[in-house]
Structure 1
Amino acid sequence: MNWANMSEDKSKRLKIVQITCASIWCLFSAGIVFGFAALKTILIKEGIYADMCQNDIGILKAKGPCVEQDLKLNFLFTAAAGVTNVIALPVGTILDRYGPRVCGIIGAFWIICGSQMFIWSDSLLKYTDPYLTGYILLAVGGPFVFISCFQLANTFPKRSGSILSLITGTFDSSAALFLFYRIIYEKWDSDLHLSKFFKIYLVVPLFIIFCQLFFMPHESYKTQGNVMKLSVEGLDENGHLLEGDDGSAIIPDQQERQSLLSQETMEQNGILTAQRSRQKSVLETYVEAKLEKKTGGIFGILHGYTVREQLKSPLFYLMVIFTTICMLRINYFVATIRSQEEYLLGDFEKAATMNSIFDVALPLGGLVSIPLTGIILDHFKTLDTLAIVMGTSITIGILGLIPHSFVSNLIGIVLLVVYRPFYYTVVSDYVSKVFGFDTFGTIYGTLICISGVLNMFQSVLDAWTHNIFKMNPFPINFVLVLVTIISGSVLLQRAHREVREKQAGKQSLPEEEIASSSNTTTYGTN
C-alpha cells in the first residue's frame, strides 16, 4: 500500500472541500448588502421608517415612501457600501497576522450580530436603529469571510486563476440572496417577516464557523500578493516555476525554454543567489520583460519602491480619484434605481419592471463578466483596459440620461451589471502590475478604503436629488459623467507620460546597467 499516494489523495480531497465550503458561504454572505434594491421593496412593505411619513397627528403625508423614508432607506445602503470598502484594509492586516481561520470566524461573528439586530428589531428600537446597525454589521462581516478565501487560490497553484474567478463570481452572485427573499415574500409567504428570515439566515454564519473549525486551514497558503503574483506571472513567490511545470505555458519556444530552465537550475543550486537579498530569478526576469511589453510598458513601473513612495505617486492618487467616481456612480444607482427610473420613464409600472430586471441581472452580471474580463485582460494592454473601463462607464452614464426610453435605460442596466465586477477586477490588476506584489495588499486596501470613505458623499447626492432637484437625477448623473471623463482622461494621460519617461530612461542607460538594475530589484521573500 502506497501511504504517500493515500496521503496526497486525502490532502487533495480536503482542499476541494475547502474550496467548496468557501464558495458556498461567499455565495450567501460575502456581498449580500449589494442586493439592496430587492431588499428595499420588502423594507417598504414591512413599514420600516414609515413613521417618518406621518404628520403631527399621525396621518400619512404621502402614498408610498415619502422623501424622508426614502432617504433613510437609501442611507442603509450608502453606509453599508462604504463600510464594506473601508473594512477591507484592516481585514488584510488581521488576515496576515492571525490567519484565515480567525479572520473567517470574526466575519461570522459580525454576521450573527447583524442578523440579531433584525431579529430583535422591535425590542431594540427604543435604544438604537437596529436596521441601520444590522445592515452595517452584515457589511462588516462580508469582507472578513470573503478576503480570507483569496489564499485558497494556492491550494491548486496551476488552477489559481479559475479558483479566484469562482470565489469572485460567488461574491458577485451573493446579491441574489435578497432577490430570492423578495420573490418568496411576494409570491408565497408574506408572513416571512424580516425577523423570521434572519432567524433562518443564522444557518449561514454557523456553517462558516463549522467549516473554519473542521476543514479550513489555520495558516494562509499564500498572501494576497503571492496569489496575485501567481495569477499574473504564473510563477511562485520566489520567481520559480511551480512544481511539475515545464514552463511551456509561459515560454513556448522549446530551445529558449531549455536554456532558461538550465540557468534556473543553476540559480536554485545557489550559484546565482549568493547575495542575502533575493534577486530576480532568470525566469522572473524573462516573464516580467514579456509582461512589460504586453502591458504597454506599465508593468513594473513602480515595483521595488517603498509604500510611502508609491502612495505619493500620481499613479496612485489619480487612480483613487477615478476609482472613487466610478464607485460613487455605481452605488448611487444601486441605491436609487427605482426613483431614478420612475422619473426618467415617467411610468410607475415600467420603473417597477426595470427594478425587477435589475434585481435579477445584478447577480448574473458577475457570472457573465468572468470570461469577458479574462479575455480583455489577456488581449489588451493595461492602459487600453483602463480606457475600456472609462469608455464603458461614460456610455452607461449617457444611457442613464435619456428620458422616456425603456430600451436605452435597459441597455444601460445590462452594461452596468457586467461592468461592475469588471471594473473591480481591472483596479486590482492595475495595482498589481503598476505597484508590484510585495505591496499589493497595502496599496489595494488603501485605495479601496479611501474610495469607500469618500463614497459616503453618496447620501449628500441622494439628498440633493430629493430636495433640490425634486427627484430629477439628470443633474447629478450629468456631473458624475463629466467628472468621470475628466478624471479618467487625466489618469490615462499621466500613465502614458510615466511609461514614456520610463522607456526614455532605459534608452539612456548602458545595457550592462539595465541588466544589473533588473537583477537587483527585490520582490519576494528574503
Structure 2
Amino acid sequence: MLFTEVSSSKRLIQCTCAIFWCLLSGGPIFGFAALKPVLIKEHVYEYLCDIHTISNNDDITAKCTAQDLKLNMMFTVAAMLTNVSALAIGRVLDVYGPKACGLIGGFFLYLSCFIFIYSKNLAGTVIDPYLIGYAALALGGPFAFISSFQLSNAFPKNSGTILAMITGAFDASSAVFLLYRIAYNKSFGSFTLEKFFMLYLFVPTFITVAQLTVMPSQSYQTAINNELCANDAETGHHTVSPVNSATATTNTNTETTPLISESLSSSSATTTAINRRRDSLGDAIKQPYELEGEEFIAEHSGGVFGVLHGYSAQDQMKSWWFALITLFSIIMMLRINYFVATIGTQYEYIFGDVKLADNLNKFFDIALPLGGLVSIPFIGLFLDYCSTMMVLSILLAISITIGVLGLVANYGLAVIGVCLFVAYRPLFYTTISDFCAKVFGFDTFGTVYGAVMCLSGIFNFGQSFLDALTHTTFEMNPAPINIMLVIATCIIGGATLGYVYKSTK
C-alpha cells in the first residue's frame, strides 16, 4: 500500500499511536534490574528458601541462592524469547501484515497481565505464574514493536526520524518498571504487582483498539517498490530492485567478486533474483538508505555494502559473513543480558556493601532508558559516516572496556562503566541491523536478521548456567565469569574484525 493512499493526518495518528505503545510495551522486560527488588519485597519465590538458611535480613537482595537464581531465570527466559521470536514475527508480518502482528502482541500482553493479576492464586500449581507471565510480556512487546517498523514509509522523507523515534521509544520502555518501583516504594508496598498489572491492562487495550480502528492492514511500501510490483504484474516476472541491481553490476568489476565466489555460486544469485519475495522488515528500513543514496553508503561503509546482495537467504546464511556476525552477536548479547540480570548481585560482592550496590543499581535503572534516547541520534550519524570496520572496532573496544571496569572495586569507575553500557547497548543492536542491511541486503533482511537474533537468543539461555556457576562454584564472585566473557569477546570479536578487514582490503 502506498502512503499516498492514506491522508497525512491519519498517518500521523498511526505513527503517534505506534510510538506511544512502543514506549509502554516495546521492551519493559529489560527494566528487570528495577523490578527485581519489588519481586523480592513481594516475596516472590521466597518459599524456595529454608528459613534457617536465609542469608540476609534486608529487603533489596534475594534471601537465598535458590530465590536469586529463580528470579534471574525470569529475565533469562524473557530475553531469550524476545530474540528468538524475531524470526517468527518477521514471517507473520510478511504473510499476515502489521495489523495481525499488532493484535498478537496485544494478546500476549493481555495474557501477561491476567497471569500476574492472579499470580498468587496460581502460585503452587503446576505452572509458574511469574515465569510464564514475564515470558508472555517478552513476546507481546516485540510483536507490537516490530509491527511498527513499516510506519517509517508513512512519511518517506522523514523515515529515518520515524525509525529513530520508534527505536528510542523501545529503549525508553525499560523505564516502565523503574516508574513502578518508585510508585511501589512511595505507596509503602500497597501498590502490589496485581494492582500494577490491572493498571497495565490499558496498554494491550490501547493496542487492540488502535489496530482495529486506525492502523493499516498492509505494510506501507516505497513508491519504487510499488512501481516494481506494477511492472511485475504487467510483464509476468519478478524484478531486482534498483539498489540491488546496481550493486550486483558494481561488484562484478571489483575486488569483492572473489569473496563472493568463495562461499556462494553465481547461479544462486540468478535464482534468487527470479524468486525473490518482498520482505516487510527489509522494505521498512530500506527507505532511509535509499534517501542517502547508494554511492554515499558504498563510499562510507568501507567496502561491505552490497557484498551479498542478490543472493538467497539460504546461501547468505552459509557464508562466513553470517557465521561470524552471529557469533559476534551471541557473545555481545550474552554479556549485555548477563549484566542487566545480575548488576545488583555483582556489585554487592565487588563493593562488599549492599547499600552502595543498591545506589549503583538505581543509577543504572535511570541511565538505561535515558542512554537509549540520548544516543540514538548520534548512533545514526556514527553509522552513516564511519566504515563498518571502524564501527565494529569501536563496539568491540567499548565492550572490552566495560568488562575490565566491571572487575574493579571503585564506585566512580563502576558509574563510568554503567554510562558506557547504556550507550553501548543501543549501539550494538543498531550496528547489527545496519550490518545485515549493508552486507545481506533488504530483500532477505527479515530472514537473515531474524536468524541472527534468533540464534543469539537461543545461546543466551547459557546465561542461566553462568549465573549458577557464579552462585555455586565461584561463591558469588563475578570476576571469573566476567574474565571468561571478556576473553571470549576478544577472540570472537578479533576473528570477525580480521575477516571483515581481509574481505574489504
Q: TM-score, normalised by structure 1?
A: 0.82
After TM superposition, list the pairs within 5 Å mapping 1:385-400 onto structure 2: 385-400=391-406
After TM superposition, list the pairs within 5 Å mapping 1:494-509 onto structure 2: 494-500=499-505
Give, as a single letter, the amino acid of the residue that structure 2 aligns with 1:400.
G
Give, as a single letter, the amino acid of the residue that structure 2 aligns with 1:302.
L
SS in 1 for 2:181: helix
In the alignment, which residue of structure 1 is the partner of 2:333? 327
Between 1:321-330 and 1:61-70, the stretch displaced more is 61-70
Distance 1:419 1:269, change over 3 A: closer
Separation (CA, whole Å) in 2 of partners of 1:41 and 1:104: 31
Q: Deviation of residue 276 (structure 1)?
A: 5.0
Separation (CA, whole Å) in 2 of partners of 1:187 and 1:344: 29
After TM superposition, list the pairs within 5 Å mapping 1:225-264 onto structure 2: 236-237=224-225
In the alignment, which residue of structure 1 is the partner of 2:273? none
Between 1:277-286 and 1:146-155, the stretch displaced more is 277-286
Q: Deviation of residue 344 (structure 1)?
A: 1.2
After TM superposition, list the pairs within 5 Å mapping 1:316-395 onto structure 2: 316-395=322-401
Give, as a single letter, the amino acid of the residue that structure 2 aligns with 1:152.
L
Q: Deviation of residue 278 (structure 1)?
A: 2.8
Q: For residues 486-507 of structure 1, give each alpha carbon's deviation from its aligned partner in whole angstroms, at most 9, with x where no partner exists.
A: 111101111122223xxxxxxx
Between 1:106-115 and 1:7-16, the stretch displaced more is 7-16
Conserved in 1, the CA contact under 8 Å of 2:225 and 2:241? no
Q: Deviation of residue 285 (structure 1)?
A: 3.5
Q: Deviation of residue 370 (structure 1)?
A: 0.7
Distance 1:465 1:168, change over 3 A: same
Give, as a single letter, the amino acid of the residue that structure 2 aligns with 1:210.
V
Is residue 136 of structure 1 aligned with residue 135 of structure 2? yes
In the alignment, which residue of structure 1 is the partner of 2:82? 84
Is residue 36 of structure 1 aligned with residue 32 of structure 2? yes
Conserved in 2, the CA contact under 8 Å of 1:239 and 1:280? no
Distance 1:304 1:46, change over 3 A: same
Matching residue within 439, 454, 458 for 2:463:
458
Q: Deviation of residue 59 (structure 1)?
A: 7.2
Matching residue within 2, 10, 18 for 1:14:
10
Distance 1:144 1:274, change over 3 A: closer
In the alignment, which residue of structure 1 is the partner of 2:318? 312
Conserved in 2, the CA contact under 8 Å of 1:32 and 1:175? yes
In the alignment, which residue of structure 1 is the partner of 2:481? 476
Distance 1:347 1:289, change over 3 A: same
Separation (CA, whole Å) in 1 of partners of 2:477 and 2:429: 29
Conserved in 2, the CA contact under 8 Å of 1:115 and 1:201? yes
Separation (CA, whole Å) in 1 of partners of 2:145 and 2:187: 31
Separation (CA, whole Å) in 2 of partners of 1:466 and 1:39: 21
Separation (CA, whole Å) in 1 of partners of 2:236 and 2:44: 65
Separation (CA, whole Å) in 2 of partners of 1:431 and 1:282: 15
Q: Deviation of residue 401 (structure 1)?
A: 1.1
Q: Deviation of residue 393 (structure 1)?
A: 0.7
In the alignment, which residue of structure 1 is the partner of 2:270? none
Separation (CA, whole Å) in 1 of partners of 2:218 and 2:164: 22
Give, as a single letter, the amino acid of the residue that structure 1 aligns with 2:154.
T
Give, as a single letter, the amino acid of the residue that structure 2 aligns with 1:293.
E
Give, as a single letter, the amino acid of the residue that structure 2 aligns with 1:456.
F
Distance 1:279 1:102, change over 3 A: closer
Q: For residues 204-247 of structure 1, give each alpha carbon's deviation from its aligned partner in whole angstroms, at most 9, with x where no partner exists.
A: 1000000001110011113xxx7xxxxxxxx944799xxxxxxx
Residue-pair matches, total: 451
Separation (CA, whole Å) in 1 of partners of 2:428 and 2:393: 11
SS in 2 for 1:175: helix
Separation (CA, whole Å) in 1 of partners of 2:348 and 2:179: 23
Separation (CA, whole Å) in 2 of partners of 1:79 and 1:92: 20
Separation (CA, whole Å) in 1 of partners of 2:419 and 2:56: 32
Give, as a single letter, the amino acid of the residue that structure 2 aligns with 1:50.
E
Give, as a single letter, the amino acid of the residue that structure 2 aligns with 1:28.
L
SS in 1 for 2:472: helix
Q: For residues 327-383 of structure 1, give each alpha carbon's deviation from its aligned partner in whole angstroms, at most 9, with x where no partner exists.
A: 000100100010111111121111010000000001101111111201211220111
Distance 1:345 1:275, change over 3 A: same
Is residue 285 of structure 1 aligned with residue 284 of structure 2? no
In the alignment, which residue of structure 2 is the partner of 1:175? 174
Q: TM-score, normalised by structure 2?
A: 0.85
Q: For residues 375-431 of structure 1, give each alpha carbon's deviation from its aligned partner in whole angstroms, at most 9, with x where no partner exists.
A: 21122011111111111111111111112x001111000110111011100000000
Instruction: Give the CA RMSD over aligned residues.
Output: 2.4
Is residue 301 of structure 1 aligned with residue 296 of structure 2? no
Give, as a single letter, the amino acid of the residue that structure 1 aligns with 2:12.
I
Give, as a single letter, the amino acid of the residue that structure 1 aligns with 2:382.
I
Which sections of structure 2, spanning at least 5 residues, go unmatched? 248-292
SS in 2 for 1:20: helix
Q: Deviation of residue 8 (structure 1)?
A: 7.5
Q: For residues 256-286 of structure 1, give each alpha carbon's deviation from its aligned partner in whole angstroms, at most 9, with x where no partner exists.
A: xxxxxxxxxxxx999xx99955356499739
Q: For residues 124-174 of structure 1, give each alpha carbon's deviation from its aligned partner in whole angstroms, at most 9, with x where no partner exists.
A: 122311000100000011110000000000000010000000000000000
SS in 2 for 1:161: helix
In the alignment, which residue of structure 2 is the partner of 1:258? none
Conserved in 1, the CA contact under 8 Å of 2:243 and 2:294? no
Separation (CA, whole Å) in 1 of partners of 2:504 and 2:236: 30
After TM superposition, list the pairs within 5 Å mapping 1:157-176 onto structure 2: 157-176=156-175
Give, as a single letter, the amino acid of the residue that structure 1 aligns with 2:364.
F
Separation (CA, whole Å) in 2 of partners of 1:345 and 1:282: 54
Q: For residues 39-95 of structure 1, give each alpha carbon's deviation from its aligned partner in whole angstroms, at most 9, with x where no partner exists.
A: 00100000001111125xx77464352111001000000000000000111011111
In the alignment, which residue of structure 2 is the partner of 1:490? 495
Separation (CA, whole Å) in 1 of partners of 2:151 and 2:332: 29
Q: For residues 451-496 of structure 1, give each alpha carbon's deviation from its aligned partner in whole angstroms, at most 9, with x where no partner exists.
A: 0000000000000001011111001001111111111110111112
Q: For residues 420-444 of structure 1, give each alpha carbon's deviation from its aligned partner in whole angstroms, at most 9, with x where no partner exists.
A: 0111000000000001111100000
Q: For residues 1-25 of structure 1, give each alpha carbon's deviation from its aligned partner in whole angstroms, at most 9, with x where no partner exists.
A: xxxxxx9897101001001100111
Separation (CA, whole Å) in 1 of partners of 2:156 and 2:53: 63
Distance 1:118 1:295, change over 3 A: same
In the alignment, which residue of structure 1 is the partner of 2:147? 148
Separation (CA, whole Å) in 1 of partners of 2:4 and 2:459: 48
Distance 1:281 1:464, change over 3 A: closer
In the alignment, which residue of structure 2 is the partner of 1:52? 48
Distance 1:214 1:38, change over 3 A: same
SS in 1 for 2:7: helix
In the alignment, which residue of structure 2 is the partner of 1:447? 452
Distance 1:354 1:99, change over 3 A: same
Conserved in 1, the CA contact under 8 Å of 2:82 and 2:142? yes
Separation (CA, whole Å) in 2 of partners of 1:467 and 1:449: 29
Separation (CA, whole Å) in 2 of partners of 1:78 and 1:164: 27
Separation (CA, whole Å) in 2 of partners of 1:150 and 1:236: 18
Give, as a single letter, the amino acid of the residue that structure 1 aligns with 2:98.
P
